[in-house]
Amino acid sequence: MQDIITKEITVKAPKERVYQAITDPKQITKWFPDEIEGMLEVGQQSIVTFNGYGKSSLLVIDANPFDYFAYRWIPGGSSIIDDLTTVQTTLVEFHLTEQNGRTKVVLTESGFATLPADVAAKSFSDNSGGWDQMMSRLEKMLSQD
Protein backbone atom coordinates (compact mmCIF):
# COMPACT_ATOMS: atom_id res chain seq x y z
CA MET A 1 0.00 0.00 0.00
CA GLN A 2 1.39 3.36 -1.00
CA ASP A 3 1.39 5.75 1.92
CA ILE A 4 2.28 9.24 0.63
CA ILE A 5 0.91 11.49 -2.11
CA THR A 6 3.20 14.35 -3.13
CA LYS A 7 2.19 17.18 -5.47
CA GLU A 8 4.14 20.30 -6.35
CA ILE A 9 3.41 23.56 -8.15
CA THR A 10 5.27 26.83 -8.52
CA VAL A 11 3.27 30.03 -8.78
CA LYS A 12 4.15 33.64 -9.52
CA ALA A 13 3.00 34.96 -6.17
CA PRO A 14 4.65 35.76 -2.84
CA LYS A 15 4.36 33.05 -0.22
CA GLU A 16 2.27 35.32 2.02
CA ARG A 17 -0.40 35.37 -0.72
CA VAL A 18 -0.17 31.60 -1.21
CA TYR A 19 -0.43 30.99 2.53
CA GLN A 20 -3.54 33.17 2.66
CA ALA A 21 -5.10 31.14 -0.19
CA ILE A 22 -4.48 27.93 1.79
CA THR A 23 -5.55 29.12 5.26
CA ASP A 24 -8.20 31.83 4.87
CA PRO A 25 -11.71 30.29 4.75
CA LYS A 26 -12.82 33.00 2.28
CA GLN A 27 -9.91 32.15 -0.03
CA ILE A 28 -9.74 28.36 0.29
CA THR A 29 -13.29 27.93 -1.03
CA LYS A 30 -12.16 29.48 -4.32
CA TRP A 31 -10.01 26.43 -5.11
CA PHE A 32 -10.57 23.57 -2.63
CA PRO A 33 -13.84 22.82 -0.79
CA ASP A 34 -17.09 24.39 -1.88
CA GLU A 35 -17.88 25.38 1.71
CA ILE A 36 -16.13 25.47 5.06
CA GLU A 37 -17.63 25.70 8.54
CA GLY A 38 -15.18 26.87 11.19
CA MET A 39 -11.77 28.47 11.36
CA LEU A 40 -8.50 27.14 9.99
CA GLU A 41 -6.48 27.68 13.15
CA VAL A 42 -4.29 25.30 15.15
CA GLY A 43 -6.40 23.12 17.41
CA GLN A 44 -9.62 23.99 15.60
CA GLN A 45 -11.78 21.40 13.88
CA SER A 46 -13.76 22.46 10.82
CA ILE A 47 -16.11 20.81 8.36
CA VAL A 48 -15.45 21.08 4.63
CA THR A 49 -18.08 20.36 1.98
CA PHE A 50 -17.31 19.08 -1.49
CA ASN A 51 -20.46 19.29 -3.59
CA GLY A 52 -21.24 15.87 -5.01
CA TYR A 53 -18.79 14.12 -2.64
CA GLY A 54 -19.94 14.96 0.86
CA LYS A 55 -18.54 16.56 3.98
CA SER A 56 -15.46 15.82 6.01
CA SER A 57 -14.02 17.02 9.30
CA LEU A 58 -10.51 18.38 9.41
CA LEU A 59 -8.36 19.29 12.40
CA VAL A 60 -5.61 21.90 11.98
CA ILE A 61 -2.56 20.57 13.80
CA ASP A 62 0.22 23.01 12.89
CA ALA A 63 0.80 26.37 11.23
CA ASN A 64 3.94 28.39 10.68
CA PRO A 65 2.96 31.47 8.69
CA PHE A 66 4.05 31.75 5.84
CA ASP A 67 6.00 28.53 5.45
CA TYR A 68 3.92 25.58 6.64
CA PHE A 69 0.32 24.51 7.25
CA ALA A 70 -0.96 21.05 8.26
CA TYR A 71 -4.20 19.32 9.11
CA ARG A 72 -5.58 15.83 9.67
CA TRP A 73 -8.70 14.48 8.05
CA ILE A 74 -10.42 11.31 6.92
CA PRO A 75 -10.22 11.13 3.13
CA GLY A 76 -13.25 10.10 1.13
CA GLY A 77 -15.97 12.54 2.20
CA SER A 78 -19.03 11.94 4.37
CA SER A 79 -16.75 11.62 7.40
CA ILE A 80 -18.02 14.10 9.96
CA ILE A 81 -16.38 13.04 13.21
CA ASP A 82 -16.70 14.98 16.45
CA ASP A 83 -13.14 14.23 17.57
CA LEU A 84 -10.60 13.38 14.87
CA THR A 85 -8.02 12.43 17.49
CA THR A 86 -9.98 9.21 18.12
CA VAL A 87 -9.84 7.77 14.58
CA GLN A 88 -7.29 6.97 11.86
CA THR A 89 -6.63 9.99 9.65
CA THR A 90 -4.25 11.19 7.00
CA LEU A 91 -1.95 14.18 7.42
CA VAL A 92 -2.08 16.92 4.78
CA GLU A 93 0.91 19.28 4.74
CA PHE A 94 1.69 22.36 2.69
CA HIS A 95 5.34 23.51 2.53
CA LEU A 96 5.98 26.92 0.95
CA THR A 97 9.31 28.30 -0.25
CA GLU A 98 9.79 31.54 -2.15
CA GLN A 99 12.53 32.46 -4.56
CA ASN A 100 12.67 35.37 -7.01
CA GLY A 101 9.00 36.30 -6.59
CA ARG A 102 7.76 32.74 -7.15
CA THR A 103 6.50 30.32 -4.52
CA LYS A 104 6.93 26.57 -4.64
CA VAL A 105 4.07 24.73 -2.98
CA VAL A 106 4.76 21.13 -1.98
CA LEU A 107 1.73 19.25 -0.77
CA THR A 108 1.97 15.86 0.90
CA GLU A 109 -0.76 13.65 2.23
CA SER A 110 0.48 10.72 4.28
CA GLY A 111 -0.93 7.97 6.45
CA PHE A 112 -2.94 5.95 3.95
CA ALA A 113 -1.32 2.73 5.16
CA THR A 114 -2.84 3.31 8.62
CA LEU A 115 -6.40 3.54 7.29
CA PRO A 116 -8.72 0.53 7.34
CA ALA A 117 -7.79 -1.77 4.46
CA ASP A 118 -11.21 -1.49 2.83
CA VAL A 119 -10.80 2.28 2.29
CA ALA A 120 -7.03 2.80 2.04
CA ALA A 121 -6.43 1.97 -1.65
CA LYS A 122 -9.54 3.80 -2.90
CA SER A 123 -8.74 6.85 -0.76
CA PHE A 124 -5.17 6.94 -2.06
CA SER A 125 -6.34 6.72 -5.67
CA ASP A 126 -9.16 9.23 -5.26
CA ASN A 127 -7.01 11.75 -3.40
CA SER A 128 -4.08 11.44 -5.77
CA GLY A 129 -6.32 12.49 -8.65
CA GLY A 130 -8.17 14.95 -6.47
CA TRP A 131 -4.98 16.74 -5.43
CA ASP A 132 -3.96 17.04 -9.10
CA GLN A 133 -7.21 18.87 -9.74
CA MET A 134 -7.08 21.01 -6.58
CA MET A 135 -3.46 22.06 -7.04
CA SER A 136 -4.27 23.03 -10.62
CA ARG A 137 -7.17 25.12 -9.34
CA LEU A 138 -4.91 26.78 -6.73
CA GLU A 139 -2.32 27.56 -9.40
CA LYS A 140 -4.99 29.05 -11.69
CA MET A 141 -6.49 31.16 -8.90
CA LEU A 142 -3.12 32.58 -7.90
CA SER A 143 -2.13 33.32 -11.50
CA GLN A 144 -5.27 35.46 -11.91
CA ASP A 145 -4.48 37.70 -8.92
For residue 62, what pLDDT is reported? 98
Rounded CA-CA distance 53/104 in Å is 29
For residue 80, what pLDDT is reported? 73
Cβ 94 vs Cβ 103: under 8 Å: no
Residue range 55-89, pLDDT digits in tens: 899 999 999 999 999 999 988 766 677 788 888 89
For residue 77, what pLDDT is reported? 65
Q: What is the mean pLDDT of each run of 10 residues along the chain (145 residues)?
A: 93 96 96 95 94 90 98 79 87 96 96 90 92 96 86
Biggest CA–CA distance in the chain, Å, is: 45
Q: Write out the residue range of the structural domain in which residue 15 sits.
A: 4-143
Neighbours of 112 (CB within 10 A): 23
* Number of structural domains the chain divides into: 1
Any idea how long the chain is? Answer: 145
CATH classification at residue 124: 3.30.530.20
For residue 81, what pLDDT is reported? 79
* DSSP-assigned beta bridge partners for residue 47: 37, 57
For residue 78, what pLDDT is reported? 64
pTM of the model: 0.95
